[in-house]
């Protein structure tokens, strides 16, 4: 029997090549759309933010001690908002990283299959609660509780917002870290235990370092979430920009400022309008920098140990 191959110009073959090309083009467009959106967002931010510096000098922006772009006697000290953002983020991470990591260790190394089946959905429910609910939880439950323990704490404060935000981030960190730890091969676990190590030593000295790359990703995600979180801080931390790291006072984060100002009517092109974009840009830069630092640490660790 003769084996038949199509010739390069046969209709059948041309159609097949065209089909493959269309599929590839379609997949490319889908994949490129998110890249395009990102580029578009950054572009808009930069274009709208840059004219801000026509009116405000960079030194004012960096060194003014207050942020009052909408006042008669406007001041543009972005560091006040940066202070608020970093303060709430640090408080949140102080809660979320230890608790999230310990939860992951428990779920991955200690809990039985049954226990994990109960724990995981409940933990993931934490992530499903709308952030506005967390905000009111912070303001109406945690703050009064804190006021009983720490007299003199203001009714809007960074501490309460940060703590609640931390709880909110726990499932992000624990879930990803747990996946990373469970992916550590069994023979590493057995290798440690066979040397006479306890479960605790194995978990923290072998499994956690082995899963570090995944755990670091979880931390980075947690940091990004905390930096960008809006509702909780807008509701519970107050709307008072402050150049201070006192967690007991009210403060304002970059995100909270944007919400506050966006809700009002601002004439397009006004300095107040520009201030939204410029603070958004600063936030973006922060998130980017933390992401980069995280990536660096991760690839460093990988090089060292892989």
Partner 1 sequence: MNRKAEVKNLNFSYSHSALVLKSVSLPIFENKITALIGPSGCGKTTLLRCFNRMHDLYGNVKYDGSILLLPDQVNILSTDIDPIEVRMKIGMVFQKPNPFPKSIYENIAYGLRIRGIKKKSYIDEKVEDSLKMAGLWQEVSDRLHTGANSLSGGQQQRLCIARALATEPDILLLDEPTSALDPISTAHIEELVASLKKKVTILMVTHNLHQAARTADYTAFMYLGELIEFGESSQIFTNPKEQKTENYITGRFG
Site for partner 1, rule CB under 8 A = 185, 187-188, 190-198, 201, 205-206, 209-210, 212, 303-306
Minimum distance from residue 121 beta carbon to partner 1 (Å): 25
Residue 121 or 191 with smaller CB distance to partner 1: 191
Minimum distance from residue 128 beta carbon to partner 1 (Å): 34
- Whether the CB-CB separation of 167 and 94 falls below 8 Å is answered with no
Residue 48 or 109 with smaller CB distance to partner 1: 109
In angstroms, the CA 185 to CA 225 distance is: 30
Q: Is the dihedral of CA 60, 64, 67, 70 positive or negative?
A: negative
Minimum distance from residue 18 beta carbon to partner 1 (Å): 47
Minimum distance from residue 306 beta carbon to partner 1 (Å): 5
In angstroms, the CA 283 to CA 89 distance is: 12
In angstroms, the CA 246 to CA 250 distance is: 9
Question: For the chain, give me the number of helices (H) and strands (E)?
Answer: 15, 0
Residue 152 or 185 with smaller CB distance to partner 1: 185
- Long-range (24+ apart) CB contacts under 8 A made by 101-107 are 101/173, 101/174, 101/177, 101/208, 101/215, 103/170, 103/174, 103/178, 104/173, 104/174, 104/175, 104/177, 104/178, 104/180, 104/181, 104/215, 104/218, 105/181, 105/203, 105/204, 105/207, 105/208, 107/174, 107/178
Residue 7 or 112 with smaller CB distance to partner 1: 112
Residue 177 or 253 with smaller CB distance to partner 1: 177
- Whether the CB-CB separation of 248 and 150 falls below 8 Å is answered with yes
Residue 34 or 112 with smaller CB distance to partner 1: 112
Minimum distance from residue 223 beta carbon to partner 1 (Å): 23
Minimum distance from residue 114 beta carbon to partner 1 (Å): 13
Minimum distance from residue 116 beta carbon to partner 1 (Å): 16
Residue 126 or 197 with smaller CB distance to partner 1: 197
DSSP state letter for 131 = H
224 HSE (CA, 13 A, CB side): 19
């Amino acid at each position: 029997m003769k084996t038949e191959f199509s010739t390069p110009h046969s209709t059948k073959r041309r159609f097949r090549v065209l089909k493959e090309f269309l599929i590839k083009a379609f997949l490319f467009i889908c994949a490129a759309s998110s890249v395009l959106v990102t580029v578009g967002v950054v572009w808009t931010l930069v274009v709208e933010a840059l004219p801000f510096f026509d009116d405000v000098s960079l030194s004012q922006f960096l060194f003014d001690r207050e942020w009052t772009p909408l006042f008669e006697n406007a001041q543009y000290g972005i560091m006040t908002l940066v202070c608020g953002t970093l303060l709430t983020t640090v408080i949140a991470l102080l809660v979320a990283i230890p608790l999230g990591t310990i939860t992951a260790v428990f779920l991955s190394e200690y809990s039985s299959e049954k226990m994990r089946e109960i724990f995981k959905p409940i933990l993931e429910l934490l992530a499903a609660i709308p952030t506005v609910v967390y905000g009111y939880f912070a303001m109406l439950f945690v703050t009064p509780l804190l006021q009983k323990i720490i007299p003199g704490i203001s009714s809007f404060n960074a501490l309460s917002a940060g703590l609640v935000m931390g709880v909110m981030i726990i499932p992000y960190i624990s879930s990803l870290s747990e996946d990373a730890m469970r992916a550590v091969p069994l023979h590493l676990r057995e290798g440690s235990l066979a040397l006479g190590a306890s479960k605790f030593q194995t978990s923290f000295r072998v499994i956690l370092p082995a899963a570090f790359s995944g755990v670091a990703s979880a931390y980075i995600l947690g940091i990004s979430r905390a930096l960008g979180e809006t509702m909780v801080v807008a509701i519970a931390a107050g709307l008072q920009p402050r150049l201070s790291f006192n967690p007991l006072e009210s403060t304002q984060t970059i995100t909270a400022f944007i919400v506050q100002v966006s809700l009002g009517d601002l004439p397009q092109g006004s300095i107040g309008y520009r201030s939204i974009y410029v603070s958004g840009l600063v936030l973006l830069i922060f998130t980017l920098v933390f992401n980069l630092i995280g990536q660096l640490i991760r690839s460093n660790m990988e090089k060292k140990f892989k």
